[in-house]
Amino acid sequence: VGAVLTLLSVLLILLTFPFTAWSCVQVVLEFERAVIFRLGRVVKGSAKGPGLIWFIPWLDVVQKVDLRTFSVYIYPQQVLTADSVPLLVDMVVFYRVVDPTLWFTRVQNGCDATHWLVQATLRAALGAHTLTDLLTQWPSIATRMEEVLHSGSRPWGVQVQRVELRDLKLPISLQRSLASEAEAERTARATMIVAEGEVKASRTLREAASQLSPVALRLRYLQTLASVDSTSIIHDTSKKMKKSFLEHIQ
């Protein structure tokens, strides 16, 4: 029956040409492809376009699809990580249609299906990792999500190109805890640096003291006192010190 109707329609178009010619063509843009359904069935062959395409207006239904890259924005979602940390995450997924026929025949609404698939994948992926993993290993996690999304959307002719994390918000209490932990770590590091400096200084002084005689140490002490801005200097003038000083001079 379909072949007979198609043949009769073609004969009618030829008999009424050129009056029916304008209604038998459509323009498909460079970034579009057209899928033709004739009597409910997809016309054999790949999607049509770009350029002018021919169809039978009373038998065919022409469906066009845009092949450019689309972006799906996932509004902030409440996600629980593997270590039970609640996060507020929003992200963007970029995809494009690579098979127009599957896009129209395998799913009722490809955009909605892709959107829901992204949400489900986001929850599953983030819920399987701890907060530390998300903060330190996000590139590898995003790559894994792209693979899952691509395999999940392939049946309806979609190719997921990229997954981008826009924002990841922590609870206020957790932000304060992390800030306190970071501050404590910085303070501990500064204390260790100061302690190491004091150890090195004391070691240097000890080595210098081992190489100087008591008289030389005393002279160094007096020089240090002289360099201090003060009005009076008190120093030891014991007989023992004087005797050592005179012996050193002789």
What confidence tens digit (pLDDT) does each residue in 211-243 have?
A: 656 656 666 666 666 665 555 555 555 555 555
Domains, the chain, in order of start with CATH, read 2-66 (no CATH), 70-174 (3.30.479.30)
Is the separation of the CB atoms in 48 and 33 below 8 Å? yes
The DSSP secondary-structure symbol of 48 reads: B
- 100 three-state secondary structure: helix
- 96 three-state secondary structure: strand
Q: Could you tell me which of 16, 145, 22, 157 has the C-alpha nearest to residue 89?
A: 145
Cis, peptide link before residue 100, omega less than 30° from 0: no
**What distance in Å separates the CA atoms of residue 189 and residue 192, rounded to the nearest whole number?**
5
Residue 87 CB-half CA count within 13 A: 25
**Edge-to-edge strands, sheet with 86-97:** 70-80, 86-97, 158-169
What confidence tens digit (pLDDT) does each residue in 19-73 have?
A: 777 888 999 999 999 999 988 899 887 788 899 998 988 889 999 999 999 998 8
**Is the model's pLDDT at 249 over the cut of 60?**
no
Q: What is the DSSP string of 150-186?
A: HHHHGGGTEEEEEEEEEEEE--HHHHHHHHHHHHHHH
The whole-number pLDDT of residue 14 equals: 81
